Amino acid sequence: MRFPHPDIQINDSVKFNLATKEIDGVVKFVNGAQMTLTGGNNIGRIGTLTSIEKHIGSYDIAHVKDVRGNTFSTRLSNCMVIGDGKKSAISIPKGEGIVYSLIEKRDLKMGNEIADDEDED
């Protein structure tokens, strides 16, 4: 890849064809994009980018919301875009990147249902 396309920006993901040695597609890093976390305490989680906080002279923070509605934040450098929000460009593993707490894992092993926070009105 000698010269990338000028529309490719920092933090975008590139789909590269190894046989033809050409770029097949680009997934843009924008709000609403589906992403996986590749570092930090939330490693392996998959969610949707909701916002980015810019901190001059320090790390930029990305706010992500997962399928269950949990919101968490991490450094921008720990994020990698895998889809445009509607469809993922890669196959997602079993569990869809959802992380359970220790109590929720225990309940799943015992066959109990996990209670949602919204049902406790």
Question: What per-residue confidence (pLDDT) applies to 116?
Answer: 59
> 68-110: per-residue pLDDT in tens?
888 999 999 999 999 887 778 777 777 777 878 788 888 888 8
Check whether 118 has a pLDDT greater than 60.
no
13-115 maps to which CATH number? 2.30.30.30
Question: What per-residue confidence (pLDDT) applies to 121?
Answer: 44
- Kindly write down the DSSP assignment for every residue of 1-58, as one continuous string: --S--TT--TT-EEEEETTTTEEEEEE---TT-EEEE-SSTTTT-EEEEEEEE--TTS
> 5-60: per-residue pLDDT in tens?
788 888 898 888 899 888 888 889 999 999 999 998 888 889 999 999 999 999 99
